[in-house]
Protein backbone atom coordinates (compact mmCIF):
# COMPACT_ATOMS: atom_id res chain seq x y z
CA UNK A 1 0.00 0.00 0.00
CA UNK A 2 1.35 3.41 -0.96
CA UNK A 3 2.60 5.57 1.91
CA UNK A 4 0.89 8.89 2.28
CA UNK A 5 2.91 11.82 1.04
CA UNK A 6 4.24 14.40 3.44
CA UNK A 7 1.76 16.94 2.07
CA UNK A 8 -1.17 14.55 2.63
CA UNK A 9 -0.03 14.07 6.24
CA UNK A 10 0.25 17.84 6.69
CA UNK A 11 -3.24 18.22 5.24
CA UNK A 12 -4.69 15.75 7.76
CA UNK A 13 -2.91 17.46 10.65
CA UNK A 14 -4.24 20.93 9.80
CA UNK A 15 -0.77 22.26 8.98
CA UNK A 16 0.27 24.33 5.99
CA UNK A 17 0.57 22.20 2.85
CA UNK A 18 0.60 22.44 -0.94
CA UNK A 19 -2.67 21.02 -2.33
CA UNK A 20 -1.23 20.34 -5.81
CA UNK A 21 0.67 17.34 -4.43
CA UNK A 22 0.15 14.35 -6.73
CA UNK A 23 -1.07 12.06 -3.94
CA UNK A 24 -3.74 14.59 -2.99
CA UNK A 25 -4.87 15.49 -6.51
CA UNK A 26 -5.12 11.86 -7.69
CA UNK A 27 -7.38 11.07 -4.73
CA UNK A 28 -9.37 14.24 -5.33
CA UNK A 29 -10.05 13.44 -8.98
CA UNK A 30 -11.55 10.06 -8.05
CA UNK A 31 -13.87 11.85 -5.62
CA UNK A 32 -14.82 14.52 -8.15
CA UNK A 33 -15.69 11.90 -10.78
CA UNK A 34 -18.14 10.34 -8.29
CA UNK A 35 -19.57 13.76 -7.53
CA UNK A 36 -20.04 14.43 -11.24
CA UNK A 37 -21.98 11.17 -11.58
CA UNK A 38 -24.17 12.09 -8.60
CA UNK A 39 -25.07 15.43 -10.17
CA UNK A 40 -26.14 13.69 -13.40
CA UNK A 41 -28.77 11.53 -11.67
CA UNK A 42 -32.45 11.97 -12.47
CA UNK A 43 -34.93 13.27 -9.85
CA UNK A 44 -36.62 9.85 -9.70
CA UNK A 45 -33.37 7.98 -8.96
CA UNK A 46 -33.61 8.45 -5.21
CA UNK A 47 -32.29 5.02 -4.24
CA UNK A 48 -29.31 5.46 -6.55
CA UNK A 49 -28.52 8.88 -5.05
CA UNK A 50 -28.74 7.48 -1.53
CA UNK A 51 -26.30 4.67 -2.34
CA UNK A 52 -23.89 7.06 -4.06
CA UNK A 53 -23.82 9.38 -1.05
CA UNK A 54 -22.94 6.43 1.19
CA UNK A 55 -19.95 5.75 -1.06
CA UNK A 56 -18.94 9.41 -1.33
CA UNK A 57 -19.18 10.59 2.29
CA UNK A 58 -16.98 9.77 5.26
CA UNK A 59 -20.22 9.12 7.19
CA UNK A 60 -23.86 9.63 6.34
CA UNK A 61 -26.92 8.63 8.34
CA UNK A 62 -30.37 7.51 7.30
CA UNK A 63 -32.92 9.74 5.58
CA UNK A 64 -30.46 12.28 4.17
CA UNK A 65 -31.27 14.15 0.97
CA UNK A 66 -29.08 16.49 -1.10
CA UNK A 67 -30.68 18.26 -4.06
CA UNK A 68 -28.29 18.41 -7.04
CA UNK A 69 -26.31 20.27 -8.05
CA UNK A 70 -24.06 19.58 -5.08
CA UNK A 71 -20.48 20.85 -4.97
CA UNK A 72 -17.61 19.64 -2.79
CA UNK A 73 -13.85 19.88 -3.14
CA UNK A 74 -13.47 16.20 -2.23
CA UNK A 75 -16.96 15.07 -3.13
CA UNK A 76 -17.90 14.52 0.51
CA UNK A 77 -14.84 12.44 1.44
CA UNK A 78 -14.33 14.45 4.64
CA UNK A 79 -18.02 15.10 5.41
CA UNK A 80 -19.88 13.49 8.33
CA UNK A 81 -23.70 13.76 8.22
CA UNK A 82 -26.07 12.53 10.90
CA UNK A 83 -29.60 11.34 10.17
CA UNK A 84 -32.27 13.26 8.24
CA UNK A 85 -30.02 16.03 6.90
CA UNK A 86 -31.63 18.01 4.07
CA UNK A 87 -29.77 20.26 1.63
CA UNK A 88 -31.38 22.37 -1.07
CA UNK A 89 -29.80 23.32 -4.42
CA UNK A 90 -26.14 24.33 -4.69
CA UNK A 91 -24.82 23.22 -1.32
CA UNK A 92 -21.06 23.85 -1.51
CA UNK A 93 -18.84 22.01 0.96
CA UNK A 94 -15.18 22.97 0.82
CA UNK A 95 -14.31 19.67 2.46
CA UNK A 96 -10.54 19.71 2.37
CA UNK A 97 -10.93 19.53 6.16
CA UNK A 98 -13.70 17.71 8.02
CA UNK A 99 -17.29 18.96 8.24
CA UNK A 100 -19.45 17.47 11.01
CA UNK A 101 -23.23 17.90 10.72
CA UNK A 102 -25.68 16.61 13.34
CA UNK A 103 -29.11 15.05 12.92
CA UNK A 104 -32.05 16.94 11.37
CA UNK A 105 -29.99 19.83 9.98
CA UNK A 106 -31.49 21.82 7.08
CA UNK A 107 -29.46 23.77 4.51
CA UNK A 108 -31.23 26.36 2.39
CA UNK A 109 -30.17 26.88 -1.24
CA UNK A 110 -26.74 28.28 -2.08
CA UNK A 111 -25.10 27.62 1.30
CA UNK A 112 -21.30 27.39 1.49
CA UNK A 113 -19.42 25.64 4.30
CA UNK A 114 -15.65 26.11 4.02
CA UNK A 115 -12.83 24.40 5.90
CA UNK A 116 -9.95 25.50 3.66
CA UNK A 117 -8.00 28.68 4.25
CA UNK A 118 -4.86 30.38 2.95
CA UNK A 119 -2.20 32.33 4.86
CA UNK A 120 -2.17 36.12 4.66
CA UNK A 121 1.57 36.08 3.85
CA UNK A 122 1.73 36.65 0.07
CA UNK A 123 4.75 34.45 -0.77
CA UNK A 124 3.08 31.37 0.69
CA UNK A 125 -0.15 32.25 -1.07
CA UNK A 126 1.68 32.63 -4.39
CA UNK A 127 2.46 28.91 -4.11
CA UNK A 128 -1.18 28.14 -3.17
CA UNK A 129 -0.23 27.10 0.38
CA UNK A 130 -3.29 26.07 2.36
CA UNK A 131 -4.44 24.85 5.75
CA UNK A 132 -7.76 23.41 6.91
CA UNK A 133 -9.84 23.89 10.06
CA UNK A 134 -12.83 21.64 10.76
CA UNK A 135 -16.42 22.94 10.99
CA UNK A 136 -19.06 21.57 13.42
CA UNK A 137 -22.82 22.08 13.01
CA UNK A 138 -25.01 20.79 15.82
CA UNK A 139 -28.23 18.82 15.57
CA UNK A 140 -31.48 20.47 14.45
CA UNK A 141 -29.80 23.59 13.03
CA UNK A 142 -31.43 25.49 10.15
CA UNK A 143 -29.03 27.38 7.90
CA UNK A 144 -30.78 29.95 5.71
CA UNK A 145 -30.27 30.48 1.99
CA UNK A 146 -27.01 32.03 0.84
CA UNK A 147 -25.21 31.62 4.16
CA UNK A 148 -21.41 31.33 4.22
CA UNK A 149 -19.72 29.46 7.10
CA UNK A 150 -15.97 29.98 7.35
CA UNK A 151 -13.29 27.55 8.60
CA UNK A 152 -13.19 26.65 12.28
CA UNK A 153 -16.76 27.66 13.16
CA UNK A 154 -19.02 25.70 15.51
CA UNK A 155 -22.80 26.23 15.49
CA UNK A 156 -24.69 24.96 18.52
CA UNK A 157 -27.73 22.71 18.32
CA UNK A 158 -31.22 24.03 17.52
CA UNK A 159 -29.94 27.42 16.32
CA UNK A 160 -31.18 29.24 13.22
CA UNK A 161 -28.81 31.14 10.91
CA UNK A 162 -30.62 33.81 8.91
CA UNK A 163 -30.41 33.94 5.13
CA UNK A 164 -27.36 35.66 3.68
CA UNK A 165 -25.34 35.49 6.89
CA UNK A 166 -21.55 35.19 6.98
CA UNK A 167 -20.66 33.10 10.01
CA UNK A 168 -17.14 34.05 11.12
CA UNK A 169 -17.30 32.97 14.77
CA UNK A 170 -18.94 30.31 16.92
CA UNK A 171 -22.71 30.53 17.43
CA UNK A 172 -24.17 29.09 20.66
CA UNK A 173 -27.07 26.66 20.90
CA UNK A 174 -30.75 27.72 20.90
CA UNK A 175 -30.42 31.15 19.28
CA UNK A 176 -31.38 33.02 16.13
CA UNK A 177 -28.30 34.61 14.55
CA UNK A 178 -28.11 36.78 11.42
CA UNK A 179 -25.92 39.21 9.53
CA UNK A 180 -22.44 39.84 8.17
CA UNK A 181 -20.65 39.10 10.36
CA UNK A 182 -23.28 36.82 11.86
CA UNK A 183 -24.35 37.86 15.37
CA UNK A 184 -26.82 36.46 17.86
CA UNK A 185 -30.10 38.37 17.57
CA UNK A 186 -32.02 36.59 20.31
CA UNK A 187 -32.61 33.29 22.06
CA UNK A 188 -35.29 30.90 20.85
CA UNK A 189 -38.23 31.67 23.16
CA UNK A 190 -41.66 30.48 24.30
CA UNK A 191 -43.20 32.75 21.66
CA UNK A 192 -41.50 30.65 18.97
CA UNK A 193 -43.37 27.65 20.37
CA UNK A 194 -46.69 29.48 19.86
CA UNK A 195 -46.21 31.46 16.63
CA UNK A 196 -44.47 30.27 13.47
CA UNK A 197 -44.62 33.59 11.57
CA UNK A 198 -45.56 37.00 12.98
CA UNK A 199 -49.07 36.53 14.44
CA UNK A 200 -49.73 33.14 12.80
CA UNK A 201 -50.23 30.51 15.50
CA UNK A 202 -48.79 27.02 15.27
CA UNK A 203 -51.65 24.63 14.47
CA UNK A 204 -49.59 21.58 13.48
CA UNK A 205 -48.53 19.44 16.43
CA UNK A 206 -46.10 16.57 15.84
E runs forming strands in the chain: 65-66, 71-72, 79-81, 86-87, 92-94, 99-101, 106-107, 112-114, 116-117, 131-132, 135-137, 142-143, 148-149, 154-155, 160-161, 166-167, 175-178, 183-187, 195-197, 200-201
Q: What are the respective helix, strand and coil percentages of the chain, to the nearest 5? A: 20, 25, 50
User: Alpha-carbon torsion 143, 13, 181, 119, what sign?
Assistant: negative
- Specify whether the CB–CB gap between 96 and 73 falls below 8 A: yes
Q: What are residue 48's phi and psi, to 5 degrees? A: -65, -45
- Whether residue 71 lies in the annotated active site: no
Q: Which of 104, 131, 103 is nearest to 119 (CA)?
A: 131
Start-to-end C-alpha separation, the chain = 51
Annotated active-site residue in 71, 118, 127, 136 = 118
List, by residue number, the catalytic residues.
118
Amino acid sequence: MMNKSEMRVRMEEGRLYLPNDETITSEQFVCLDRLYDFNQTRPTELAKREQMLKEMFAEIGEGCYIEPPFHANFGGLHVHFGNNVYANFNLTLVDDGHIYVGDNVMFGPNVTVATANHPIEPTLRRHAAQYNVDVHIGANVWIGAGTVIVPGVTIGENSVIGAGSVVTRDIPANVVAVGNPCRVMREISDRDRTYYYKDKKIDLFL
